[in-house]
């Protein structure tokens, strides 16, 4: 995997490995979201968008999220933000 691909498509399992709780919510099959709980914060990451919702706050990033029916792939910048 080249450097750019590795920075733009990080599997959600990296968040789990870092001790966060991760849930792929597919209640709306056309708009799945990745729900992440880290410390005392909850983040919502919608598919095919470049944002992370932290409560009412919208945080924008370069790169979009992708869901392949099994795993979410998110930009490394999102992982870094949630891990802060």
Angle at 80 between CA 77 and CA 1, to 5 degrees: 60
Could you tell me which residue, 48 or 4, shows the higher pLDDT? 48
What is residue 74's predicted lDDT score, i.e. its pLDDT?
96
Whether the CB-CB separation of 66 and 47 falls below 8 Å is answered with yes
- CA-nearest of 69, 58, 76 to 5 is 76
For the chain, domain boundaries: 3-83
Q: Is 69 exposed, middle or buried (0-12, 13-18, 19+ CB in 10 A)?
A: exposed
Residue whose structure tokens are 């930009």 = 75
- Please say whether the structural domain 3-83 has been given the CATH code 3.40.50.150: no
Give tens-digit pLDDT for 22-43: 999 999 999 999 999 998 899 9
- Ramachandran region, residue 59 (left: φ > 0; alpha: ψ -120 to 50; beta: rest): beta
Share of the chain above pLDDT 90, in %: 82
């Amino acid at each position: 995997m080249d450097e750019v691909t590795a920075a733009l498509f990080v599997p959600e399992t990296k968040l789990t490995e870092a001790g966060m709780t991760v849930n792929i919510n597919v209640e709306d099959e056309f708009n799945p979201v990745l729900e992440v709980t880290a410390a005392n914060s909850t983040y919502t990451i919608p598919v095919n968008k470049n944002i992370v919702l932290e409560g009412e706050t919208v945080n924008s990033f370069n790169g979009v999220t992708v869901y392949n029916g099994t795993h979410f792939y998110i930009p490394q910048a999102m992982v870094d933000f949630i891990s802060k």
